[in-house]
Structure 1
Amino acid sequence: MFFTYLRRELRRRKKAAIVISLGLALGIALVITVNSVSAGMTQAQGKVLQSLYGLGTDMTVTKAATPTAASSGRPNFDFNARDDSKSQSSDRVNVQGFQSLASTVVTKVKAQSGVKSAVGGLSLNVTKVNGTFDRGTFSQAPNAGGQNGGGQNGGGNSSGQPQGQVQGGGANFSIDSYTVYGTDVTNLDLGPLTSSKITSGRAFTSADAKAKVVILDSAYAKTKKLKVGSTLTVSSVKLKVIGIATADSGDSAANAYIPLTEAQTLADSKNKVTTIYVQATDSKKIDSVKTAIQKNVSGTTVTTSADLASTVSGSLSTASSLATNVGKWLSIAVLIAAFLVAALLTSSAVNRRVREFGTLKALGWKSGRVTRQVMGEAFVNGLIGGALGIGLGLAGAYTVTAISPTLSASLASSSGGGGQGGPGGGGFGGPGRQAAAKAIDVTLTAPVSLNTIALAVALAVLGGLIAGTFGGWRASRLRPADALRRVE
């Protein structure tokens, strides 16, 4: 009887059912679209962070900032003054940020509660000056042996003017600066190289720990016209290119990757690292792991992905803020409006059915049965609205994904010299300092998760129950005698 009456009433009042369902559907569709776009923002932000962190990294540990005497930090270049050599070349290999930690700190970090894995890396900056000197020729003036020659003016005449001149000669030098990252080849599951895919050649193996080999970023290799089998010379050390890596995010953490031991040797930083990449046993315990490291490992700064995410700027940050703040409150406002409209329309429908409900009560229907009947109708309207809302929400999310708008993002970076603290200073992520100076373009998608669908269903049921409860309450208060005196 309940379902028969329910089906008949829904068919008889199609327009009202459609209006109520559409009102709920629009609110639910907006919630799905906003949640999906927010999830896409999170994924896009993750791509930006991955270019610095590397896949699977939850936090990084760097040396804490300490006040130091002012220093220019400028590298010096020495050139040979041999008569038979015109070509000159000089390299300077410096630790990025000029801050480093002892390798033993990696062991201490690994021993902390909640740490699943930790690996150290050394970030270097190589500056290479290369060019040629051309010796000039000195020609003496005809009166070079005059009366005042060789006097206090060093070969000048009585007027103090030189009696000869240098012709030709000069210098032509180019400066090439690039980043090199020392990777612990015995543990390749963490670090910036994990965000790149080997597209040519091979990856490092544990046997490469002391080998003079290098993996180049694909963009740098293309610029320098290097390939697998080529040789990259760093400070007179020849490194064989064994692989070409392409960054998943489009922006690599470093131009070249070499074994950690070789990087320490080149920079004269034996048993030193600039960054420790840490993976927690549980992503929900990242904050507690950070606290434990800061408490038990002195002289370090711990930066989590959440800390770094707050420094993301650009159109990605603006869009993320809009999706999070404006989208959230807009969704709430629309949902409240949809629920109120559904409740008011259901109540209005009850008012138009006064005589019907009065007759049913006169025939013996209890108030509770009338209430359940009204709530059943509203519940079905909610389910219909939920189904329509899910369909509209999926269409909205698909449209965003199909359009795939491109957003730019960059990360705040403090300047040079080291010891500045925070993500930039002290060399957050080492190569992260280099990547932070570049804008990264990411494509926005709007993935729809099962949790979002479940939320939509829950909202549909809630909307139906709210409307049904209000309408049922109105219906339960009707008295048969008063209802029969009214004409529908």
Structure 2
Amino acid sequence: MFGIYLKRELGRRKKAALVIALGLALGIALVITVNSVSAGMTQAQDKVLKSLYGLGTDMTVTKTRSAPTSGSSGRPNFQFDASSNGSDKTQSSDRVMTQGGQALASSVVTKVAQQKGVASAVGALTLNVTKVDGSFTQGKAQSSGGNSGSGGQGGPGGSGSGGNSTAAPQVQGGGANFDVNSYSVAGVDVGDQTLGPLAGSKITTGRTFTAAQSNAKVAVVSKSYAKENSLKVGKTLTISGTKYTVIGIATPDSSESTTDVYLPLKQAQTLADAKNKVTTIYVKASDSKQIDAVKSAIQKNISGTTVTTSADLAETVSGSLSTASNLATSVGKWLSIAVLAAAFLVSALLTSSAVSRRVREFGTLKALGWPSRRVTRQVVGESVVNGLLGGALGIGLGLAAAYAVTAISPKLTAQLGNTGGGGGMGGGPGGGGPGGQASQNTMEIALSAPVSMTTIALAVGLAVAGGLIAGAMGGWRASRMRPADALRSVS
């Protein structure tokens, strides 16, 4: 009886049922869209962060930045031989510096690995190499004055009998033309490459380092750097007078590479004259839920260090990605809640209004013996069906909107700034360059809008909740009607 009556009543009031369902559908569709876009923002931020610290890395440990020592500015300086036998003098010099000018002793890696909650720790040395290449051209001295008259004698600083003077010679021509090229080098612990600078890249050409190459003169270069400098596997790369054989080309998993050249850690330490030194320690926690506790333990037990987690690094991300993420988190979610609340309220009011127009019907049913709870159940049943219909429409609209965002894939930019330590996670854009200056790296990320089963379940729950709220208000109003009301409504 309940099902038959329910079907007949919904069929009689198709227009009203459709209006209620559409109201709920719009609110649910907005919730799905905002949730899916927010999930896409989170994925985009994860891609940006993983490009810096690599897969599996939970935090990095760097040396706390200190002021330059007296007489040292921390900036790169170049000294050239000024003497020249010819008119031109070709000069070339590489300046190798640890990133940010800060470094930790390699023994700190062992101390970090021994801390409670640390699964593994790996040290790396990040270098900034500045190459200055060019030549000086020697100028020529030319006299701008002359003597006049006869019998005049003169020399430098002298005067002839005729009173004529000679002007000082002037140097004309000459100058310098130099090209400055800067790139980054990362020293990799070849014994454990699951953490560290290479963890966020895969070798697409050639191979990576082997355990036997801990001090070999070999290099892996990033795909972009190899293309820019026409490097291939088997060719040699010269850094500060040392030649390295390229054995592999690395392609980042998610974004542009922040490191140009990878060397075995010992070779990088030799280049920078930083024996047994590292700039960054990559840490993997035993439990991802205890990252804050591990961070506190390291900072407490190992002085002079700065611990940077992915959450800390996320705060340095700016650009359109950060702006859109903030909008989706704050404005978008609050807007969806407001629209959903309005949809629930409108549905409840429309249901209550529909009950008011069915005074004669419900009054007659009560006169025939229907108890109030049965009338209430009937109204709630109709509202729940309307809610489920609205939920189905809302899920369809939400999926269509999410698919449209994914298909369009709007490009968002992410700028990675300094975290304030001696180097960023992975020694990439978060670190300081020569002189401790903060560097920035801009990346482009394609936005997607993935829809999870949790979001679908949330939509179904909201649809049922909307139907129950509307049915509760309409049922309460219907239960208060008396059989006498039906008689009064008869014209």
Aligned to 2:410: 405
Of 443-452 and 365-374, deviating more is: 365-374
Query: Quick one: which amino acid aligns to residue 74 of structure 1?
Result: R
Within the alignment, does 1:427 sit opposite 2:428 as a pair?
no
* Equivalent residues of 1:342, 1:463 under 8 A apart: yes
Name the CA shift for 1:396/1:355 in 2 (closer, same or farther; >3 Å). Answer: same
Aligned to 2:20: 20
The offset of 1:165, in angstroms, is 7.4
Within the alignment, does 1:53 sit opposite 2:58 as a pair?
no
Name the CA shift for 1:464/1:265 in 2 (closer, same or farther; >3 Å). Answer: same
Query: Quick one: which amino acid aligns to residue 389 of structure 1?
Result: G
* Equivalent residues of 1:93, 1:125 under 8 A apart: yes
Of 212-221 and 28-37, deviating more is: 212-221
| Structure 1 CA distance for aligned equivalents of residues 384 and 243 of structure 2 | 75
Structure 1: stretches of 5+ with no match in the other structure: 414-422
| Structure 2 CA distance for aligned equivalents of residues 208 and 47 of structure 1 | 30
* Equivalent residues of 1:32, 1:394 under 8 A apart: yes
The offset of 1:262, in angstroms, is 0.9
Within the alignment, does 1:468 sit opposite 2:471 as a pair?
yes
The offset of 1:243, in angstroms, is 1.0
Query: Quick one: which amino acid aligns to residue 357 of structure 1?
Result: F
Aligned to 2:43: 43
Within the alignment, does 1:270 sit opposite 2:275 as a pair?
yes
| Structure 2 CA distance for aligned equivalents of residues 13 and 412 of structure 1 | 60
Name the CA shift for 1:368/1:174 in 2 (closer, same or farther; >3 Å). Answer: same
* Equivalent residues of 2:97, 2:129 under 8 A apart: yes
Q: Deviations over 1:4-26 (max 9, x none)?
A: 22222211211111111111110
The offset of 1:151, in angstroms, is 7.7
* Equivalent residues of 1:400, 1:446 under 8 A apart: yes
Aligned to 2:310: 305
* Equivalent residues of 1:51, 1:192 under 8 A apart: no
| Structure 1 CA distance for aligned equivalents of residues 207 and 270 of structure 2 | 23
* Equivalent residues of 1:54, 1:192 under 8 A apart: yes
Structure 2: stretches of 5+ with no match in the other structure: none
Query: Quick one: which amino acid aligns to residue 212 of structure 1?
Result: K
The offset of 1:472, in angstroms, is 1.1
Aligned to 1:111: 114
CA RMSD of aligned residues (A): 2.7
1:450-465 aligned within 5 A: 450-465=453-468
TM normalised by structure 1 equals: 0.89
| Structure 2 CA distance for aligned equivalents of residues 273 and 280 of structure 1 | 20
* Equivalent residues of 1:121, 1:275 under 8 A apart: yes
Within the alignment, does 1:319 sit opposite 2:324 as a pair?
yes
Q: Deviations over 1:377-415 (max 9, x none)?
A: 1111111111111100000001111111111110223xx
| Structure 1 CA distance for aligned equivalents of residues 68 and 136 of structure 2 | 38
SS in 2 for 1:397: helix
| Structure 2 CA distance for aligned equivalents of residues 33 and 168 of structure 1 | 68
2:262 to 257, 263, 273: 257
Query: Quick one: which amino acid aligns to residue 75 of structure 1?
Result: P
TM normalised by structure 2 equals: 0.89
The offset of 1:35, in angstroms, is 0.7
Q: Deviations over 1:324-380 (max 9, x none)?
A: 111111101100110001111111121122222222222222211221111111111
| Structure 2 CA distance for aligned equivalents of residues 267 and 282 of structure 1 | 35
Name the CA shift for 1:152/1:207 in 2 (closer, same or farther; >3 Å). Answer: farther
Query: Quick one: which amino acid aligns to residue 77 of structure 1?
Result: F
* Equivalent residues of 2:220, 2:262 under 8 A apart: yes
| Structure 1 CA distance for aligned equivalents of residues 422 and 164 of structure 2 | 61
Of 356-365 and 343-352, deviating more is: 356-365
* Equivalent residues of 1:317, 1:409 under 8 A apart: yes
Q: Deviations over 1:208-266 (max 9, x none)?
A: 21111111111111111111111111111111111112223432121111111111111
The offset of 1:92, in angstroms, is 1.6
| Structure 2 CA distance for aligned equivalents of residues 438 and 159 of structure 1 | 62
Aligned to 1:89: 92
2:105 to 88, 102, 106: 102
State the identity %. Answer: 69
| Structure 2 CA distance for aligned equivalents of residues 487 and 206 of structure 1 | 95
SS in 2 for 1:117: strand
Aligned to 2:33: 33
| Structure 2 CA distance for aligned equivalents of residues 373 and 270 of structure 1 | 82
Of 434-443 and 183-192, deviating more is: 434-443
Name the CA shift for 1:425/1:363 in 2 (closer, same or farther; >3 Å). Answer: same
Within the alignment, does 1:294 sit opposite 2:299 as a pair?
yes
1:63-82 aligned within 5 A: 63-69=63-69, 71-79=72-80
| Structure 1 CA distance for aligned equivalents of residues 6 and 197 of structure 2 | 61
Of 475-484 and 33-42, deviating more is: 475-484
Aligned to 2:187: 182
SS in 1 for 2:441: coil
The offset of 1:181, in angstroms, is 0.8
Aligned to 2:482: 479
| Structure 1 CA distance for aligned equivalents of residues 142 and 375 of structure 2 | 118
Aligned residues: 473
1:348 to 353, 357, 366: 353
Of 271-280 and 80-89, deviating more is: 80-89
Name the CA shift for 1:250/1:152 in 2 (closer, same or farther; >3 Å). Answer: farther
SS in 2 for 1:439: strand
| Structure 1 CA distance for aligned equivalents of residues 455 and 106 of structure 2 | 45
Q: Deviations over 1:129-181 (max 9, x none)?
A: 223455677799999xx97658899xxx994645x777876654322221101
SS in 2 for 1:464: helix
Of 297-306 and 283-292, deviating more is: 283-292
Aligned to 1:392: 397
* Equivalent residues of 1:193, 1:253 under 8 A apart: no
